[in-house]
Amino acid sequence: MTASGNPNERDFSIHAFLSKVGAGKATVPYSTKEVLFSQGDAADAIFYVHKGIIKLTVISSRGKEAVIAILGAGGFFGEGCLGGQVKRMSTATAMSLASVTRIEKAAVSRVLDDEPAFMELFLNWALSATTATSKFIVRCGMSFCTTEFRPEPRRRSAPVAVIHAPRFCQQNQCLARQM
């Protein structure tokens, strides 16, 4: 019998699912500074951190690196593949010895459809990560992220969005990109 009390449902252990190697799944140990995937690689799996710390970074078109997340045990990453992302938008690097399960997109889709317990765990994680990011942006206020739209002088081009993010900008050199 399962936790829901329905004897017709089969037991599903989230821990067992994430810990065992199986179809479309592998748990791999990583060394400090080892790269799990690089920006531009195929986005074909999500990852779950069992132990250790994983850093996600992006490289701008100007070659600047920004840390976008640091994840510990219990964190997922690479979930963009579930939303149609074809290539990795970031690089994942182990900051310490780590144990990480790689779950192929098809296997994740299957377990999300078949196992409500896993779907609940994953959605709770995704919502808490989104909420934490939103709170961070609100807490930092306008000094974190302001956008100015202005046309380039004497050029027929699209407006430029200047993003002011003091944490990632040094000496007032902010990221700018064509919109």
Arithmetic mean of pLDDT, 140-160: 43
CATH classification (class only), 14-140: mainly beta
Q: pLDDT at position 140, please? A: 65
Q: With 60 as the cut, is the pLDDT of residue 16 above it?
A: yes
Q: pLDDT at position 40, please? A: 95
Contact present, 24 and 61 (Cβ < 8 Å): no
Arithmetic mean of pLDDT, 114-134: 85
Arithmetic mean of pLDDT, 155-161: 37
125-147: pLDDT as tens digits? 888 888 877 777 777 654 444 44
Q: Domain segments of the chain: what residues?
A: 14-140, 145-178
Residue-wise over 26-40: b if at least 16 C-beta within 10 A, else e?
A: eeeebeeeeebbeee
63-79: pLDDT as tens digits? 888 888 899 998 899 99
Q: pLDDT at position 129, please? A: 80
The 3-class SS string of the chain reads: CCCCCCCCCCCCCHHHHHHCCECCEEEEEECCCCEEECCCCECCEEEEEEECCEEEEEECCCCCEEEEEEECCCCEECHHHHHCCCECCCEEEECCCEEEEEEEHHHHHHHHHHCHHHHHHHHHHHHHHHHHHHHHHHHHHHHCCEEEEECCCCCCCCCEEEEECCCCCECCECEEEEC
Arithmetic mean of pLDDT, 45-61: 93
pTM for this model (two decimals): 0.69
Q: Computed over its alpha carbons, how large is the radius of gyration of the chain?
A: 20
Residue 95's pLDDT band (boundaries 50, 70, 90)?
A: very high
